[in-house]
Amino acid sequence: MKLTLAMRAKGEILVVDCSGRIVFGEESSLLRDTVKKALSNNNRIVLNLGEVNYIDSGGLGALVELYTSAHNAGGAIKLTRLTKHVSDLLQITKLLTVFDVFNSEAEAVESFRQAA
């Protein structure tokens, strides 16, 4: 299943709903380009990965690149609703120690508000 993205604002925080697979090539490029463009207007982003059924090394690379871009812009990218596959992959690669991960979108959005 190809990656589809839907963006919506939760106040001053941008939520990006991801559905499908995040893999090397078109899908990871779509995610990278869309979120990097959004970072110029809003540097606080929540990636909702609840509908992501597969991610490969190219997808992981895109997530790390977006994390770095957000950090360099003075913001952050937080992840929410990880599927078991994505959670296991982030744990194996030790990326769970890099990203702020939340069980629900509400918790991720609230974490930005508490930090402000």
For residue 97, the 8-state DSSP code is: G
The architecture of the domain spanning 4-115 is 2-Layer Sandwich (3.30)
Look at the pTM and tell me if it is higher than 0.85.
Answer: yes
pLDDT, tens digit (0-9, with 9 covering 90-100), for 18-59: 999 999 999 999 999 999 999 999 999 999 999 999 999 999
Q: What pLDDT is recorded for position 16?
A: 98
Q: What pLDDT is recorded for position 110?
A: 96
Q: Are 8 and 35 in contact (CB under 8 A)?
A: no
Domain ranges of the chain: 4-115
pLDDT, tens digit (0-9, with 9 covering 90-100), for 50-106: 999 999 999 999 999 999 999 999 999 999 999 999 999 999 999 999 999 999 999
